[in-house]
Amino acid sequence: MVRLFVALALPDTLRTQLSMLAGGIQGARWVRPENYHLTLRFIGEVENWRADEVDEALSAIRCKTFDLSLRGVGTFEKAGKIGALWIGVEKNEGLTHLQSKIETALQRVGLEPERRRFAPHVTLARTDRAPPEKLVAWVQAHNLFRAPPEPMEHFTLFSSRLGKESPVYVPEVEYELA
């Protein structure tokens, strides 16, 4: 069994910019810069033979390159508690098209449809143990964040292992955009 997800790996320039926003909130678990990514589709635990089918389906996808622009910050809440801080993504037809093609390809190989609506973001921190007032202040201080557009030339199939401190993400296969 292997735990998989499909994502855009962020270039070093964006990783550096995002890492400068991290810190300063006690109880927040900040994502390590090498783990920054934009999830296109979480797959979860699959058998190795299914992982091969996923790879084959993803390798058949044809999409054009596009520019990715990160903009703004926000939070995800669950049961009235802020659980994560994230960086937003400007609306982008190329990104939406790629995500749709990935979803279709994965359903064709028998994966269940994704239940959640696609909400592109980059998670910066898990915050279930952080004081809410500090999180609100952080969002207010950084809500005008904007990064210059970066060209996206491939997407990646990652495996992940959950660890004590943080998960370990391994890029398994890169798929070129044309």
Would residue 97 show up in a list of annotated catalytic residues for this protein?
no
User: 55 and 173 in contact (C-beta within 8 Å)?
Assistant: yes
| Gap between the Cα atoms of 54 and 105, Å rounded | 8
| Gap between the Cα atoms of 6 and 172, Å rounded | 10
Would residue 142 show up in a list of annotated catalytic residues for this protein?
no
134 has a pLDDT exceeding 90: yes
In this prediction, residue 80 carries a pLDDT of 87
Residues whose CB is less than 8 angstroms from the CB of residue 125 and which lie 6 or more positions away in sequence, other chains included: 22, 25, 28, 29, 30, 31, 84, 85
| Gap between the Cα atoms of 61 and 105, Å rounded | 8
Mean of the per-residue pLDDT values of the chain? 96
Mean pLDDT of all residues in 41-62: 97
Nearest to 105 by CA among 171, 6, 39, 37: 6
| Sequence ranges of the domains in the chain | 2-176
**Active-site residue, from 97, 121, 142, 154:** 121
pLDDT band of 125, cuts 50, 70, 90:
very high
In this prediction, residue 119 carries a pLDDT of 95
CATH code: domain 2-176 is: 3.90.1140.10
**Active-site residue, from 37, 97, 142, 154:** 37
